[in-house]
Each structure stands twice: as structure tokens, then as C-alpha cells.
Structure 1
Amino acid sequence: MYHLTKDLFFPAVSQANRDGILAFGGDLSTKRLLLAYKSGIFPWFDEKDPIIWWSPNPRMVLFLDELIVSKSMRNILNRNNFKITFNQNFRDVISNCQKVKREGQNGTWITNDMIEAYVKLHEMGVGTSVEIWQNDELVGGLYGIDLGHVFCGESMFSLVSNASKVAFIALVEILRKKNYKLVDCQVYNPHLESLGCREIERDAFIKILKEE
């Protein structure tokens, strides 16, 4: 693993180890985070650890025309029980993602420093959130980094059933209209696979990322 210094630099993603870990150290400045995402790299670490930077191979992505919306999910959407907004409450979305308990995880990888760093990206127009409301309460959502042709998903949460799925589907519909290439979902999980996400080789992902 490469030990980052104060210099704004990342090694080639091909230097990542078998688990996808590329480097550690550095900081969460907006410049470094933007360089990371544009290079196919993202931070993921526990609060007790140094900053760890990842570029896994394979990469979990969603090609927008491969989104799977089940019949039951279509029925839920047609009921219009949820209100959907974009970029109306970024801080609350990421804070809820920090607090939500996840199966097989102790604690959270979204530290307070990460929240402040991503809020700064939001203020720059790069950090994006989708909010799901029910009876004027925030019940679900997601956030990520918008690179203009690729959306790098970071985390989502649900306080009621299906709220995060509604957020994800709403995001994909907007990205389709804007002719985005794909949603970066980072690493495999079965929930994302059920929505149509699949793994591709890192080199293929990087090639798309560099197309702009």
C-alpha cells in the first residue's frame, strides 16, 4: 500500500492489492476527494483507522438501461406515497446514512470528518442527495458524487420499507434523461444486484470514467 503525504497524488489504480486497497493517509480535502473520484478511487475506513483509499477490481456498477424495477416496486411508485426531492437536505441524508445500523457492521465508516468533507463537496455542486419524504418526514435517501457523466454512489438509508429503492430509482431516471454513462456502486452486494447492478473489470470502469 502507498502511504500518501500532503502532496496531491494517487498511485495508479493497478497498484491496488487483491482486496482493492490502494493507499492510506492523506486528507479529505475537496481537491483530493475530487481527484480520487475522477481516478476511480474512494475513501472507506473505520473511525479508528487512518484514511484508506480503495479501487476494487471488479467494480460494481449500474448501466442505466439495466435498472430492474419489480412489479411490486412499480405498484409502490404508482401509489405516490412518497415525495422525492433532490439536494434539499444533503446534511440530513448523510447524517442518517451515518446512523443507520447495517447487517454485519459494527459502527459506521461515515465519520464526522467525512460528513463535513462531503458537505463541502455539496456546497460546490458536486455532492448530490436524493431525499424521500413521507408525511413531511425524511424517511429515506442517498448521496454521492456527481462527475457529470458518472454518478458515484456513496450510501443510502431507509427508515421505512422501500424508501432507499425509491431514491435509487428516482436518481436513475434523472441520470437517464441527462445521458449519464452509469452509476458507480463500488463493491458487490446482493441488494444492488437485485436492482440490476453488476460487476465489471476495473479497467473497463476507468475507461468509461475517463470518457467525460
Structure 2
Amino acid sequence: MSQQPTRARGKIEDILPLSPLQEGFVFLGLLHTEGPDLYIGQVAFDLEGPFDGARMREAARALLRRHANLRAGFRQRKNGAWAQLVLREVDLPWQDADLSTLSEEERRAEADRLAAADRARRFDLGRPPLLRFTAIRLSADRVRLVMTNHHIVLDGWSMPVLLRELMALYAAEGDPSALPRVRPYRDYLAWLGARDRDAARDAWRRSLSGLDEATLLAPD
């Protein structure tokens, strides 16, 4: 098994404010520094047929170059406020594992163990990128690709879009011209910053009125 370095590199491309949700994740990250991070997500899927690992790594690198928010780290300014620093370039966290020589039962158990271990490994919010990849060779014609990320840079709504782009970039050998241009992440933050926060607070107060203890907003 091999793993490439995950350190951040490159100069700062942009300095952006945090969204309210990101502020919440930073607070929770500072509050709970030990044990598993409940806001680490993971998706895994099997690819059947010929698999070019170098080509997939280049597609993942192109994905990082394409989306500024995937190159963001979160730092506190001297005045106490937090900002996200977008680096021009970051190293791609990529791990390879070959389990093809194991028995079917051993492969299944070891593949599950590798994915669980990666999900249990906490991210340092100040060291982008806050996502990493593991390619697990299960057989000559099957590879399991595992992507682990922190929720502060990627949510469940965005995941299908990101995976479609990854596959498109893989097919195009990492050529970004295969996809339409991305609208700058800064535009979204500007739109969000223009919202009426007082009105939003009032709406939530009305929705949660009558509750005097913790409750589930979305039950099972």
C-alpha cells in the first residue's frame, strides 16, 4: 500500500469569508478535538473493467484545480475572525491498496477496514485539501474508489455533481475543457452574504417556537 504526501503547497489564490454553516463546523471542530469527527463523509463505489490509476489521479487533480472551495483551508485572523484561504495548488491525497491476491472474504474485510480507517482519520481544517481518495484493487477487473471529505467543503447535494465531473475528467484524461466553466465560489458567498440574516433568524424562531429541549429536525 502506498500513500502520497497530503501537505498543502502553493501561494494563496484568494481569501474568503466563511458561510454561516462553515462557521458552525469550525466551532464544532474546536469544541470536539478528540475521537471521531461526525462531519466526515465518505462515498465508495466499484468500477469494473480496465482501470488506469494514473489517469484517475490526474482527473482528481483536475477536480481540485477546477473548484476553489476544494483548495480552501480555514484559519483564524489576528482579530479573532475566521477566513478560508484558497491555495493556488495543493497536493492530492491519494492512497493505493492492492487486495487482489486475498481470498474473497479477506478482500471484503480488508476493504471495509481501509475505508473505515480513512473515515476515522480526522482532517486538519487548516491544511487543505479536505478530501482524499483511496483506490482499492479488488481483482484484475474491479477497483473500489473511496472518497472521504469533510462536510465543511462538500455536502450531499454536491456529491453527485462532483462524481459526474470526476468521471468526465477521467474520460477526458484530465482535460478541463471537457466541462463548462465553473462559476466562482466567491459569487455564492457574496449572494449568501446579501441575505437578510435577521429575517432568517425570525423564521427559525417561529419554526422552533414551543420547543424547550433538544429535538431532531429530521427524524429517522
Point out the structure with max Rg over C-alpha.
Answer: 2
**Normalised TM-score (structure 1):** 0.25
| Normalised TM-score (structure 2) | 0.24
Relative CO higher for 1 or 2, CA cutoff 8 Å, sep ≥ 6?
2
